[in-house]
Chain A
């Protein structure tokens, strides 16, 4: 089976080690690792048991409400471990906002939600300086962006000036107001949802802003079995009470420790070259008007390191890179007008590019 033959590159079934066709996953606990040969232990050299246990707890909490969407959850956790922001795109009603809210609930960190509307102003998001008559000076009142997990709902309904105001805070994690920079706390994760641009009242986000999101994840429709399960859940009284039952299982300190562990993942030189070749091909592909930037290469590297850790490995394989190619690149490339008129999609081009680069082996 072609690893990229799936219609959606997000589908891990074609890549992931999980499932019937996958490689045997090594135990994350190094102490319990099995020895494949007499003298050599083919198991992670760093203890990933804590990472596996905590991310599994997050998955379980979210799975209490969300039916299916296993790929989406894996990629959200990958972004969380890779210290990246996520843009979720999908038609209305596919649980984009609910998934983001649930992920935020599983983290014991400050959370805020901003609903983007066409009349939203930058000060409504970032905050504003208020004059204090008693002191005779101005005081900065932080806006809702000052939280650890920020859910920006329907981000592509906001005006251009508000989008521009987000660029600094998303990338540099600071808000500059009245010549004073206010640093965001750590962790700082933006989970933005958007409807496809074909929907009424939506606009394409600027390239500079899109580039700052680690992943763009397409949230699709559930399968028939999943939809029946959703209906059964609602029929048997599923409601807002279930949402309240979701527990915070990951603190800011835990997350910082896990991220530090992800940063120590091994990446072989050939895999680094593989990443660079894939991203480099986007700049030479005839169907692309705009290729991906070096920031995309870094995003692919960081994402692959986090994904490898999630999958119980302490090193990155080309499999991880292929799995993340579409989520990392699809919002960073622009098709030529001819390709768009022919009905081409960024995912198709990314698939072609991945197929054109030899896997290092």
Chain B
């Protein structure tokens, strides 16, 4: 195996040499040549004057050697060969890379890509499972969303569990007509839900119910709209509601509930 690698390297080197010998000069030759300098109109050559200076005297070899000896004893020119010992860290990495090279040149390397493929499949499977379980992987890397714990419950009353009769009676007895009107309106919403005229959802507003009711019972739009307006003025607008006003509003609520009841609808049909 090592022999094969050596011969492969030799072939690569040979190829590079051929390229340098044949292709590179051609590439250089193919480069655009600079334009020739334009010659003056009249070119006159002048002869240089003769060099009459005294020729330099070479030092005699003995003097040079003496000077070298003189410099050689100086501290600045005494070079010492420091032999460095590899550290434990260097030895570790050298050993590590030797092992890697040995493994790459071993027979087990032949199945390398097979193991890479297996690893990719396993990684993908783990990722899918974590995603399905909705595990937040980013929290492990520090950039986790800053989430504050809610100190309240986002869901409050369920109109299907309220005892309207009792609570309405309590509110009326205590003169809390604002609360009584609210309970009456919620009771109406429950009736409409039970009859399938609106689809009760905690996040829906009164206007959403008005639209739903108007689609299914157009005739109920106006009276329910008026009852909704009364509820909003009293509950959200904190409008003071006297007993007489409450009785009228309550009667209108009961009347609409009665009109939309299955029995009334059957009678009307």
Contacts and interface: CB of A to CB of B under 8 A. Distances in A.
Interface of A: 1-4, 15, 17, 20-24, 26, 36-40, 42-43, 45, 266, 268, 271, 277, 280-281, 283-286, 288-291, 313-319, 322, 336-338, 354-361
Given A38-B245, A361-B182, A15 B203 contact: no
B228 to A, nearest CB: 6
A313 B237 contact: yes
B197 interface: no
Interface string B188-203: 0000000000000111
Contacts of B154: 277, 281, 356-358
B99 to A, nearest CB: 38
Interface residues of B, number: 50
A2 B145 contact: no
A290 B146 contact: yes
Contacts of A45: 239
Contacts of B205: 3, 15, 317-319, 322, 359
B214 A21 contact: yes
Contacts of A359: 202-205
B182 A355 contact: no
A23 B228 contact: yes
Contacts of B185: 361
A78 B103 CA distance: 73
A3 B242 contact: no
- What 6 pairs between A and B have smallest CB-CB spacing? A40-B245, A315-B237, A358-B202, A37-B248, A21-B211, A283-B148
A251 B230 CA distance: 35
Nearest to A336: B145
A268 B147 contact: no
Contacts of B149: 284
B159 to A, nearest CB: 9
A20 B222 CA distance: 11
B225 A24 contact: yes
Given A338-B138, A359-B202, A280 B148 contact: yes
B235 A319 contact: no
Given A37-B249, A358-B154, A17 B207 contact: yes
A4 B204 CA distance: 9
A45 B148 CA distance: 40
A63 to B, nearest CB: 24
Given A23-B207, A268-B236, A289 B145 contact: yes
A316 B201 CA distance: 21
B186 interface: yes
Interface of B: 136, 138, 143, 145-150, 152, 154-156, 182, 185-186, 201-208, 210-212, 214-215, 221-222, 225-226, 228-230, 232-239, 241-242, 244-245, 248-249
B239 A36 contact: no
Contacts of A20: 214
Contacts of B138: 336-338
B148 A317 contact: no
B150 A315 contact: no
Contacts of A316: 236
Nearest to A289: B145
Contacts of A281: 150, 154
A361 B244 contact: no
Nearest to A42: B233
Contact of B229 (A42, A271, A288): A42
Contacts of A268: 235-238
Contacts of A337: 138, 143
B199 to A, nearest CB: 9
A58 B246 CA distance: 39
A102 to B, nearest CB: 30
Given A355-B203, A358-B203, A3 B148 contact: no
29 contacts: A4-B203, A15-B207, A21-B207, A21-B214, A23-B206, A23-B225, A23-B232, A24-B222, A24-B225, A24-B226, A37-B230, A37-B244, A37-B248, A38-B248, A39-B244, A40-B242, A43-B233, A280-B148, A283-B147, A285-B147, A286-B145, A291-B148, A313-B237, A336-B138, A356-B203, A357-B203, A358-B203, A359-B203, A361-B206
A266 B202 contact: no
Nearest to A335: B145
Contacts of A291: 146, 148
Given A36-B226, A42-B230, A22 B236 contact: no
A356 B145 CA distance: 19
Nearest to A267: B236
B206 A319 contact: yes
B239 A23 contact: no
A1 B212 CA distance: 6
B212 to A, nearest CB: 7
Contacts of A314: 237
A15 B203 CA distance: 13
A338 B146 CA distance: 15
Nearest to B203: A355
Nearest to A22: B207
Nearest to A269: B238
Given A38-B245, A291-B146, 6 more contacts: A23-B210, A36-B226, A289-B146, A317-B206, A358-B156, A358-B203
A282 B62 CA distance: 93
Nearest to B148: A283
Contacts of B147: 283-286
Given A3-B208, A42-B229, A277 B152 contact: yes
